[in-house]
């Protein structure tokens, strides 16, 4: 039986723009695999609007992986194409899968403007026009002179986009203009009437030429890098049926089942269920409701009802397609889970069945102003890899102290018992189905052993605001 899959988001927003991420990854790949990580989510690797300063979401040229002199440099924020290829190779050599962040909702940093008719629409309800059509000057012409047709000679123009939010002629920023006779795509998230438009020049997924070019790029990126899957940025703003066509095409060309997860930023599991249904269960989604629950518990001062930590979550509703996380590159900047709660939060995603957990780079390695939790994470990852298998029994019956047991399987015979509290310390009486056996706390938070009774039950302790992971000795 394969070991538990564990993803790592291998970047964060404020990672230094020194071009070293790919080299660093090549250096760390072996250690990450040894620690129990099985897959890496890499940042958008393509040339973006702000050159080496761009995290990658202001996407300019999908076919420039740090190979052409565009946007002020050859390399991207993270390095050159050669360094990226070496990093992917090192990851694969270490046994890690590699998932790329894919940005196909919009384009930015066009090579020149075009003049076209545009109709202003309401920011709060994009279905409402707030003025007559007018002539506007828009940044929608992309011919990538630095690349000069290498890999693709496709030239983008206004007909490949449905809306923009900048008129060069008047300098007006923030007004959304639908271009000429364009309509917003459906189905997309219904927030603001129709949430097709997010930012920059929005791709028109109703255009056959756009979809054909994105199919070509998908085939090219998989073949070029040998990657194993994708994380889709801004999935709620892209016509859902695009994913069906694109994933079916790229998977068929690749001849393998490439992993896919969508960033559909909503706390509502019903909406995520609708998205999963519309995309034919072709892709997973991030569990934002769980992130918000973890955040609320961490800022609750011990008053959060821990019996409700999984209420409304994707991992409870549809665990097979839930990617669970504590923080990511967006949330940690403004809405992070509090540091003291991080070990508890990671125990809740790493040591339970259901969901694919994702570890966040700064939580593991640290970052300026951020605490590294690597010591406890390495211990949790090791327990996940070696022992967190088999039947799970939950004991979420107290507002502070909660716990669960995993009974192991044929290949992972040791049982574990996890106890944690967001308030005072305590003990949780739980059944591990192991009579008269010794259990020790793998976190090191509590010394000594706990011995189960003749009936296989034990009183498994944890300290206040802490977690203990009791592993059969």
Residue 233 among the catalytic residues: yes
The whole-angstrom separation of Cα 413 and Cα 290 is 30
106, 143, 283, 314, 428 from 403: Cα distances, Å: 44, 57, 30, 20, 7
Residue 263 among the catalytic residues: yes
Catalytic residue among 185, 196, 233, 422: 233
DSSP state of 113: E
Catalytic residue among 54, 101, 204, 263: 263
DSSP state of 137: E
344: closest CA among 385, 312, 300?
A: 300
Structure tokens at 337: 């889970």
Q: Cβ neighbours of residue 404 under 8 Å, at least 6 residues apart?
A: 351, 352, 392, 393, 394, 395, 396, 417, 418, 430
Q: Both ends of the chain: CA-CA distance in Å?
A: 22
User: Which letter, b or e, does each residue of 119-134 get, where b requires 16 or more Cβ atoms within 10 Å of its Cβ?
Assistant: bbbeeeebeeeeeebe
DSSP state of 339: G
**Other C-beta atoms within 10 Å of 226: how many?**
13
- Rg (the chain; Cα; Å): 24
28, 94, 100, 353, 383 from 35: Cα distances, Å: 11, 11, 21, 19, 10
> Hey, which residues are catalytic here?
233, 263
């Amino acid at each position: 039986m394969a070991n538990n899959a564990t993803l790592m988001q291998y970047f964060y927003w404020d990672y230094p723009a020194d071009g070293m991420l790919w080299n660093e990854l090549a250096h760390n790949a072996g250690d990450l695999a040894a620690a129990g990580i099985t897959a890496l989510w890499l940042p958008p690797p393509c040339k973006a609007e702000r050159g080496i300063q761009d995290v990658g979401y202001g996407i300019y040229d999908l076919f420039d992986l740090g190979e052409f002199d565009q946007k002020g440099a050859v390399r991207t924020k993270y390095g050159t194409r050669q360094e990226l290829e070496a990093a992917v190779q090192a990851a694969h050599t270490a046994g890690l899968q590699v998932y790329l962040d894919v940005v196909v909702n919009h384009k930015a940093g066009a090579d020149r403007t075009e003049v076209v008719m545009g109709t202003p629409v309401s920011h709060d309800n994009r279905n409402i026009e707030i003025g007559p059509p007018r002539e506007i000057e828009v940044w929608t012409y992309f011919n990538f002179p630095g690349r000069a047709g290498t890999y693709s000679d496709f030239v983008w123009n206004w007909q490949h986009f449905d809306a923009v939010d900048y008129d060069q002629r008047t300098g007006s920023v923030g007004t959304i203009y639908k271009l000429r006779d364009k309509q917003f795509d459906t189905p997309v998230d219904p927030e603001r009437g129709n949430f097709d438009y997010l930012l920059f020049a929005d791709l028109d997924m109703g255009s056959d030429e756009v979809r054909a070019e994105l199919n070509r790029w998908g085939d090219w990126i998989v073949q070029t890098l040998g990657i194993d899957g994708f994380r889709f940025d801004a999935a709620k703003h892209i016509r859902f049926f695009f994913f069906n066509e694109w994933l079916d095409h790229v998977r068929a060309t690749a001849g393998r089942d490439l992993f896919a997860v969508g960033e559909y930023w909503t706390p509502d599991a019903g909406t995520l269920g609708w998205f999963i249904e519309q995309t034919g269960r072709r892709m997973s989604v991030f569990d934002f409701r769980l992130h918000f629950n973890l955040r609320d518990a961490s800022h609750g001062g011990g008053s959060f009802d821990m019996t409700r930590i999984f209420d409304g979550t994707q991992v409870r509703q549809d665990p097979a397609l839930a990617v669970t996380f504590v923080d990511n590159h967006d949330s940690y900047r403004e809405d992070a889970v509090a540091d003291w709660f991080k070990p508890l939060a990671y125990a809740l995603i790493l040591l339970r069945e259901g969901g694919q957990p994702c570890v966040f780079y700064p939580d593991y390695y640290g970052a300026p102003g951020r605490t590294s939790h690597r010591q406890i994470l390495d211990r949790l990852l090791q327990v996940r890899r070696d022992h967190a298998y088999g039947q799970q029994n939950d004991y979420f019956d107290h507002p502070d102290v909660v716990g669960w047991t995993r009974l192991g399987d044929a290949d992972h015979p040791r049982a574990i018992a996890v106890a944690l509290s967001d308030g005072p310390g305590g003990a949780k009486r739980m059944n591990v189905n192991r009579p008269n056996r010794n259990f020790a706390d793998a976190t090191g938070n509590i010394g000594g052993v706990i011995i189960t009774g003749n009936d296989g039950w034990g009183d498994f302790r944890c300290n206040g605001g802490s977690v203990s992971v009791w592993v059969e000795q």
